[in-house]
Amino acid sequence: MRKQALHALAGIGVAALTAPAFGQNYKIETPKYGGTIELVSVYATISALSWDNADYNWKHNHDTGSVYEQLFVTDVSQFKSRGGKWTQTPDAFIPLENMRGELAETWELKDNPLQLVITLRKGVMWADKPGIMAARELTAEDVVYTFNRQNTSKKRIEGMYDYVTSVKATDKYTVTFDLKEFNAEWAYRFGYGYYSAIVPKEVVEAPNSGPTNWKNINGTGPFRLTDYVQGNSNTYEKNPKYWGTETINEKEFKLPYLDKLVYRIVKDEATRVTALRTGKVDILEVVRWQDVDSLKKSAPDLKWNRWLATGGTFLAMRTDTKPFDDIRVRRALNMAINKDEIIKAYYNGNAEMYAYPQHPSFGAYFRPLEQQPDSVKELFKFDPVKAKKLLAEAGYPNGFTFKTQVCSCSTDHTDLLPLVVSYLEAVGVKLEIVPMEYAAFLSAMTTRQNTAGYFMNNGHTNPTRSLHKSFVFGQPWNPSQWNDPAYSAKMDAVYLERDEAKRVQMIDEMTTEIVDKAPYIWLPTPYVYTAWWPWVKGYEGELRAGAARPGPIYARMWVDQELKKKMGY
């Protein structure tokens, strides 16, 4: 029945899917309550950018995802820390078989008329927050209010909810989405995406800047945000009224286990590593390979998880700007870069040549480089002779000069870009580096004011969104300003296709096409590491339970305070 339901939700037929219970029976160490965990997250250098999901800022979900909840979430009971096989690292991809309800209890995709009907969990409470709202139960009206607010926001991403004609509360706990057409991202876009938090009307209407003020936010989740210091920390304390539980060793436990959770913002890489080594932070979610060996020697008790980065590294070339409107120039710059040498000499072997725009964790959606056509393989081979030939054919026998913006927030990028510069100079192309703070760097892209070159790391998101957000004109995450109506039409057709096997084939062809046309200098994807001290229990390096959202993971971590003390910390 479950398999049948999953196929139905992919678009074949109609069936209902009931969310599995929070936590299955498995034999792991019995958790203990209390204590604080301090961590430096995946986004170690970037403070909160917005507390309001109507601002459509990607990091909102990371900073509020322990406070606000969503309709859907990944199945935490299948994580390695819970006896499963997943260390959830993809930034925003939950295969349907791994998805379960969070605020949703059941859901059904219906035909004639085309509708998504969601039944909410009963007894989920908004916390009491003096001056903002009294404690009350979450209802279908909260979901309707949130959706309509998101859909009418001035910062709304173009086309995000065009497939929805209306949302209504058909009773206190039932929400019905009337759909104009099928959309392959129905579960992601409003269910577990970057902007999918369900927010109460009282917070939006609160005095002193409403939902944009961190002091006002109030959710149904396992923690409450109790302090925020820009550039320093976010502090979360246990929500004693949280509804969630999990079953461990046949006994039910109320979540969360921690009393307090602290995100540390630490811009200096050496300081982050020292903080981990000395036990000042319990978890460092991203460790570059350069620091791994020394940490293993100086802090041998640390536990580790190695994972392939979930963001592609590239230098985007504005295809609406000369000389990058010429594919020969774009292909030439790819051939001018010794990508194999970057893997061996810069990453010391800790990188993959080709893992973007699709990620190996996407399963059938990913086709490795060795299976790509020769024209794609050519872009990953170092051939400065052919690069110069192509530049000359395009009218640039002596090369040219262009500017490239880069974020000073990324040590990896500020270290790697000078190497890219040296390769390009060898074929006569000069690159002027323009370093920027993150907020200005992001704004340059989203307002289409970025320079001809734009050096960045962009999350894969999921198989469809990876292409849509980056290569459909008008989307804010399109630094190459790629504008191909035929390609956009193919993307529209992908979203309408209910048969996932057919979508896989369509996405595969579109991925090969865009890589071959080279709007970016495609660079290797590095491996990174997560490290934590053994007193952090109920954790095996899992990072995300939705779109950049770690809250459900943190709710299940606990501190073995006796072990920590025994180890001298």
- pLDDT, tens digit, for every residue of 142-152? 999 999 999 99
**Class of residue 240 by CB neighbours under 10 A (exposed 0-12, middle 13-18, buried 19+):** exposed
Average pLDDT, the chain: 93
Tokens representing 309 are 């980065």
Q: Residue 3 — very low, low, confident or very high, per pLDDT cuts 50/70/90?
A: very low
Residues 483, 325 contacting (CB under 8 angstroms): no
* pTM of the complete model beyond 0.85: yes
Spell out where 363-499 has E strands. Answer: 401-407, 430-436, 453-459
**Mean per-residue pLDDT, 441-467:** 95
To 10 degrees, what angle do helices 500-517 and 463-471 make? Answer: 40
In this predicted model, what pLDDT tens digit does every residue of 314-370 receive, in sequence order? 999 999 999 999 999 999 999 999 999 999 999 999 999 999 999 999 999 999 999
**What pLDDT was estimated at residue 26?**
52
- The CA distance from 522 to 520, in Å, is 6
Q: Residue 87 — very low, low, confident or very high, per pLDDT cuts 50/70/90?
A: confident
**What pLDDT was estimated at residue 22?**
44
In this predicted model, what pLDDT tens digit does every residue of 472-506 receive, in sequence order? 999 999 999 999 999 999 999 999 999 999 999 99
Single out the residue of 46, 530, 77 nearest to residue 306, CA to CA. Answer: 530
The amino acid that residue 253 corresponds to is F
- The half-sphere exposure of 252 on its side-chain side, counting CA atoms within 13 A, is 6
In this predicted model, what pLDDT tens digit does every residue of 372-382 receive, in sequence order? 999 999 999 99
- The CA distance from 239 to 224, in Å, is 6
**What pLDDT was estimated at residue 430?**
98
Whether the bond into 435 is cis, omega within 30 of 0: no
Residues 126, 218 contacting (CB under 8 angstroms): yes
Q: CATH 3.10.105.10 occupies which residues in the chain?
A: 311-526
- The CA distance from 195 to 188, in Å, is 10
**Mean per-residue pLDDT, 84-93:** 86
The class level of CATH for 2-273+533-566 reads alpha beta
**Mean per-residue pLDDT, 259-268:** 97
- The CA distance from 437 to 430, in Å, is 23
Which CATH fold topology does 311-526 show?
A: Dipeptide-binding Protein; domain 3 (3.10.105)
**What pLDDT was estimated at residue 158?**
87
Residues 331, 515 contacting (CB under 8 angstroms): no
- Residue 499 has what DSSP assignment? -
Q: What residues contact 376, with CB distance under 8 A and at least 6 apart?
A: 369, 512, 515, 516
Residues 124, 220 contacting (CB under 8 angstroms): yes
Name the one residue in this structure whose structure tokens are 């759909």.
Answer: 179
Helices assigned H by DSSP within 457-560: 463-471, 485-496, 500-517, 551-554
Q: CATH 3.40.190.10 occupies which residues in the chain?
A: 2-273+533-566
∠ CA(125), CA(131), CA(135), 5° rounding? 15
133 pLDDT higher than 60: yes
Whether the bond into 113 is cis, omega within 30 of 0: yes
- The CA distance from 225 to 382, in Å, is 50
Residues 198, 141 contacting (CB under 8 angstroms): no
DSSP string, 528-543: EEEEE-TTEES-SS--
